[in-house]
Structure formats: structure tokens, C-alpha cells
Amino acid sequence: MNIAEAVQGRRSIRAFLDKAVDPAVLHRVIEAAQMAPSGYNFQPWEGVVVMGEALRTLSERMIAAEPQSPAEYQLVPKDLPQLYKDRRDSIVGPRMDAVGIARDDEEGRARLQARNFEFFGASAALFTFVPRVMGPPQWSDVGMWLQTIMLLLHGEGLGSCPQESLYVHGRLIKDFVGVDDDTHLFFCGLAIGHPDPEAPLNHFPRTRAAAGDVVRFIGEP
């Protein structure tokens, strides 16, 4: 596929087949992703891949644990403007509809959210960390690195789902994989596996703002 097809075709996968991911493919993808953009060439991203039984053990520990306090970081800004609430709701609603959960079913919404801690059945996950010395500009570098990995995985026929929601167990994850909490923040998880082609959660409609709503052109060529 070409680059445009990869960008348009990639989506967050929330239902995976019970099928192992070839570690050689993950090594190839991560090696290629090292060429992602990086301000000052800091390459501030650090990651750990967890697979198989080890991933299931981590999942069980997160499900059994209470969310950490204080949280690793603030995931949703305070006093969120309505524009961004509307964009959030435009994706959450169809996701719930896909699995038959009513919009006002708080218990059903919680069950759906809890699937994050099971990695949606994925057989592998990449956990990413940022040295605490780094600031917001370097966090954007980590995001570009993850986007590169997700596009490369899509090109390999694999699916992925970025999981910032795991921030509620950041310290538990760091302890499990041997990352020092004093020196590093947990940034994001990335579930990786073979997408279930029949799962409604992998097919509900997604919306994005029109390009003209977010980017303006000034001047003439």
C-alpha cells in the first residue's frame, strides 16, 4: 500500500484474534521506526514489548489493582471546551452502538473501558516511557514515533490500539517491566495483534473534523 492508503486505512483495533504475533515482525517494525522525526535528535522514546503469558499476567494485575494516586498525568484537560467534548462524543457513541451498549448505560460503558486492561485480546503490547527530564516538545516526538510504528504495523497486516488509558496503572506497569519510576513517566501502551475482521468494534464509523476547520492557508504560491 502507498502512504496515503496506510494513513486512511489505519484505525484503532479493539478486537484481536487469538493468534500470536511474530517477534521478527515487531523487531523489523521498531527498527524502521527509529527514523521517526526527533527534535535535536534526542529520540526521547523508550519502550518495552510484552507478549504471551507475561502480558496476561500484567493484565490480571491491572484488573485487580486500584487506580494509582496521584495519576501519572492528567489525561483530559480541566474545563474542556464544548468543541472537544463534541469530538469525543462523536467517536464514543458509535463505539458503544457497535456492541449494543445504550448511550446512558454507565455500567456497560465501564465494561467496555475495562477491556483496555485486557489489551482487547491482543497477543503483544508495547509500553512507552519518557524520561522525566523531558518536556512537552519531547512528548510530541514520542507521539510521532508511535504513529510511525502504527503505520508500519498496518503495512505488515497487523492492527494496533494506542492506550493512554493505562496511565491509571503507570507505576504498576513500570514495576512489572523494570522501569524506574523516579526517572521515567509512563506515556502510552500500544496493543498489537491480528485484527478480528468480523468484530463490530473494528468497523464502526469514525469522524474527523474537516481539514478546513483546523488549518488555514495564508498567501499565494
pLDDT tens by residue, 201-219:
999 998 899 999 999 999 9
Computed over every residue of the chain, the mean pLDDT equals 95
Q: Is the dihedral of CA 48, 52, 54, 55 positive or negative?
A: positive
Indicate whether 128 belongs to any domain: yes
Instruction: Confirm whether 210 is domain-assigned.
Output: no
pLDDT tier for residue 169 given thresholds of 50, 70 and 90: very high
Q: Which domain holds residue 198?
A: 3-76+117-205
Question: Percentage of the chain with pLDDT > 70?
Answer: 100
pLDDT given at position 102 = 87
The reported pLDDT for the residue numbered 103 is 81
Task: List 160's β-bridge partners, or say none.
Answer: 12, 192
Looking at the domain assignment, is residue 36 inside a domain? yes
Is the separation of the CB atoms in 212 and 181 below 8 Å? Answer: no
Instruction: Judge whether 96 lies within some domain.
Output: no
Q: Is residue 100 part of a domain?
A: no
Instruction: Tell me whether residue 220 is in a domain.
Output: no
Separation between Cα atoms, residue 197 and residue 184, nearest integer Å: 37
CATH of the domain at 169: 3.40.109.10
Residue 106 placed within a domain = no
- CA-to-CA distance for 181 and 130, rounded, in angstroms? 10
Q: Number of H helices and number of E strands within the chain?
A: 8, 4
As a whole number of angstroms, the distance between CA 65 and CA 171 comes to 11
Does 82 reside within a domain?
no
How many structural domains does the chain have?
A: 1
